[in-house]
Amino acid sequence: MASPLVTCASCGRAWHSATMAAGLRALDGCPRCSGELRFAAAAPATTATDRMAVSCDATAPHLVLGAPRR
């Protein structure tokens, strides 16, 4: 298997998808343990326009994701 694009320094979780790497850059921490994420050189870089406009820690999920469907 190929080397992971992102690994967590704390729990060792690894992600291989470029889409996940881009999403994890927006989170600024491991979704599992809040540890530091390490990105491989091959991980896609984000630009200022790709970053989320809000912090996941400071914003309620329904404000980011929208109202749930019924």
Q: What is the mean pLDDT of the chain?
A: 77
pLDDT tens figures, 26-59? 887 898 998 999 998 876 665 544 455 555 566 6
Q: How far is CA 62 from CA 50, 56, 65, 69, in A?
A: 20, 11, 5, 11
**Three-class DSSP category at 61:** helix
For residue 1, name the pLDDT band (cuts at 50, 70, 90). Answer: low
Does the pTM of the predicted model rise above 0.75?
Answer: no
Q: Indicate the domain borders of the chain.
A: 6-43+51-65
